[in-house]
């Protein structure tokens, strides 16, 4: 079984309000996406990384990883799930249905390489593995106006991160069928769940944050500076 990776990077990151897609913002001397893709390229088991870009993306060529021989690109769509599906389509030219794929957010630059390696070790185990961390905060359930309705038992709740690891053929079909059925898919595990496949959680570092708001960039810089 071979291993590949898909990095959806076609989003505009409007919530950042930076005038630039968040994956291309500067972070500790590199761009956010450079950190994210390089963490995958440091895994020798990964044969190819497909980065899924917006149509006519003017920023990709300015990255440090754009010309890496193990990296190729394809064009994505208006939703993350569509972009991941396009990345899987590109991979199927080179890969078999029985091969495995890691899907990693372009805006998660702080993932630890040791956590990725632990994911890689799960290849062939079940129907997939999701990197995440148990919830430690008290969880509240509210109504649409924000009024608290109750406290949710957090003991079995996890925060789902990326990378997420699945058999390529199963994930491709699950995503394709879910999108055709009009199902809202926020991560690959959700598509697999909808298709009836049970995946496993693998605990990783809670520093594996996703850059979504301006304050996240400052926090990511803090985490990365303590590794340099």
User: Which segments within the chain are labelled E, that is strand?
Assistant: 3-9, 26-27, 30-31, 46-53, 71-75, 100-103, 129-134, 139-142, 148-152, 158-167, 200-203
pTM: 0.95
pLDDT grade, residue 1 (50/70/90)? confident
CA distance 76 to 176: 14
CA distance 200 to 123: 12
Enter the DSSP assignment of 171: H
Position 226 scores a pLDDT of 87
Burial of 196 (0-12, 13-18, 19+ CB in 10 A): exposed
Tally of structural domains, the chain: 1
Which three-class secondary structure state does DSSP give residue 144?
A: coil
Res. 14: pLDDT tops 70: no
Residue whose C-alpha is closest to residue 99's, from 5, 8, 199? 5
Q: What is the CATH number of the domain that holds 98?
A: 3.90.550.10
CA distance 4 to 50: 8
Beta bridge partners of 140: 151
Q: Name the residue with tokens 């994911």.
A: 119
Enter the DSSP assignment of 206: T
Domain of residue 208: give its range: 3-225
Q: Name the residue with tokens 């999108």.
A: 179
Tens digit of each residue's pLDDT (9 = 90 or more) over 108-155: 999 999 999 999 999 999 999 999 999 999 999 999 999 999 999 999
Tens digit of each residue's pLDDT (9 = 90 or more) over 62-117: 999 999 999 999 999 999 999 999 999 999 998 999 999 999 999 999 999 999 99
- Percent of the chain at pLDDT exceeding 90: 93
């Amino acid at each position: 079984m071979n291993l590949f990776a898909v990095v959806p990077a076609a989003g505009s990151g409007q919530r950042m309000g930076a005038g630039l897609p968040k994956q291309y913002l500067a972070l500790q001397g590199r761009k956010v996406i450079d950190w994210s893709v390089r963490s995958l390229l440091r895994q020798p088991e990964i044969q190819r990384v497909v980065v899924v870009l917006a149509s006519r993306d003017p920023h990709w060529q300015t990255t440090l990883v754009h010309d890496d021989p193990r990296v190729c690109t394809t064009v994505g769509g208006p939703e993350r799930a569509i972009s991941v599906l396009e990345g899987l389509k590109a991979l199927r030219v080179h890969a078999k249905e029985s091969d495995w794929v890691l899907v990693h957010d372009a805006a998660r630059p702080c993932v630890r390489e040791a956590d990725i390696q632990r994911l890689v070790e799960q290849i062939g185990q079940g129907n997939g593995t999701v990197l995440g961390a148990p919830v430690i905060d008290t969880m509240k359930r509210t109504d649409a106006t924000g009024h608290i309705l109750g406290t949710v038992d957090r003991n079995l709740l996890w925060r789902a991160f990326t990378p997420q690891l699945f058999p390529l053929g199963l994930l491709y079909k699950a995503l394709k069928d879910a999108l055709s059925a009009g199902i809202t898919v926020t991560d690959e595990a959700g598509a697999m769940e909808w298709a009836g496949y049970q995946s496993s959680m693998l605990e990783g570092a809670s520093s594996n944050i996703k850059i979504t708001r301006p304050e996240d960039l400052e926090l990511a810089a803090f985490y990365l500076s303590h590794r340099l």
